[in-house]
């Protein structure tokens, strides 16, 4: 795995003439196309980058762009592979490992999720304050690579508190700030109403199929993490309607501008503060 990470990272380092990348963002459903708003200093299709997996899901393009925010460089990963696509979890988190090897200090993660909390409506942007891993998997299972991070990483504050405060400030004139706890299910099925009820009882506000493995690996490497869910639907059983991926895509499209506006400001502030 270490060799794979180095091969990807070396390819990118050479291609960008060894410039420093300060931060990274991984775009989930609802954020695809964000990179198109900015001048790309470099741009790579995932198929060009060794070991990057081309995503198969609609709304995930599979492009790595290097863009300037606040005079520093940010890597924008448009699209991610998901565990439910059948890949090894270590390959799912490889892009995060590569970002760590490139030296980023902060990683922002975005996703589409189902809302459990009564305070949420479709279209809401939720700042993730903690997670619950309900998959039984973990990207750090297996031999620990000590050069990457410790065997038993602390998970007390996965989602950086200062970044949450910054997000609250920046959201002020854009949308009502809300935060919550994200429960990771593998998918690809949406949850049953009983699974959603279980997640609610144990404290989850959102359910989704991504983000947690990347957050775990980023913390393993000592990177600060911030994550946002776009509520594309009320979770199964909370909504009386059956869930559909088309609905997820439709709400994501409708809320795109709001989330992208926020994210541009957020990334500028992150890069200024590094």
Residues 6+ apart with CB under 8 A from 42: 15, 16, 65, 66
- The answer to whether 99 and 105 have CB atoms below 8 angstroms apart is no
119 catalytic residue (yes or no): no
Residues 234-273 that bind ligand HPA (CB under 6 A): 235, 243, 248
| Distance (Å, whole) CA 139 – CA 145 | 12
Catalytic hit among 9, 210, 226, 271: 210
Residues 140-159 that bind ligand HPA (CB under 6 A): none
210 catalytic residue (yes or no): yes
- The answer to whether 59 and 30 have CB atoms below 8 angstroms apart is yes
17 catalytic residue (yes or no): no
β-pair type (21-27, 40-45): unpaired
Residue closer to ligand HPA (CB basis): 104 or 207: 207
183 binds ligand HPA (CB under 6 A): no
List, in sequence order, every residue forming a beta bridge with 21; answer none if it has no partner. 73
Q: What is the smallest separation between the CB atom of 136 and ligand HPA, expressed in angstroms?
A: 17
220 catalytic residue (yes or no): no
Report the number of secondary-structure helices (H) and strands (E) in the chain. Answer: 7, 9
113 binds ligand HPA (CB under 6 A): yes
* Residue ranges that bind ligand HPA, judged by CB under 6 A: 112-114, 190-191, 207-209, 232-233, 235, 243, 248
Residues with a catalytic annotation lie at 29, 60, 82, 84-85, 112, 209-210, 233, 245
């Amino acid at each position: 795995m270490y060799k794979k990470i180095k091969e990807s990272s070396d390819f990118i380092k050479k291609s960008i003439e060894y410039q420093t990348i300060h931060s990274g963002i991984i775009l989930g459903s609802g954020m695809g196309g964000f990179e198109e708003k900015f001048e790309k200093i470099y741009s790579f299709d995932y198929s060009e980058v060794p070991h990057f997996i081309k995503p198969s899901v609609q709304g995930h393009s599979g492009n790595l762009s290097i863009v300037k925010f606040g005079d520093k460089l940010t890597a924008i990963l448009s699209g991610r592979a998901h565990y439910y696509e059948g890949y090894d979890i270590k390959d799912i988190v490889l892009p995060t490992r590569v970002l760590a090897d490139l030296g980023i200090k902060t990683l922002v993660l975005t996703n589409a999720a189902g809302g459990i909390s009564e305070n949420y409506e479709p279209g809401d942007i939720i700042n993730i304050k903690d997670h619950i891993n309900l998959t039984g998997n973990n990207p750090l299972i297996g031999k620990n690579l000590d050069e990457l991070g410790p065997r038993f990483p602390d998970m007390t504050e996965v989602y950086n508190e200062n970044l949450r405060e910054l997000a609250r400030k920046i959201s002020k004139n854009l949308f009502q700030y809300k935060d919550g706890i994200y429960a990771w299910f593998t998918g690809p099925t949406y949850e049953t109403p009983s699974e959603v009820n279980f997640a609610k009882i144990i404290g989850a506000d959102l359910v989704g199929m991504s983000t947690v493995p990347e957050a775990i690996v980023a913390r393993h490497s000592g990177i600060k993490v911030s994550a946002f869910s776009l509520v594309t639907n009320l979770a199964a059983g909370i909504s009386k309607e059956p869930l559909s991926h088309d609905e997820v895509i439709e709400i994501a499209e409708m809320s795109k501008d709001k989330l992208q506006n926020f994210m541009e400001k957020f990334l500028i502030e992150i890069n200024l503060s590094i």
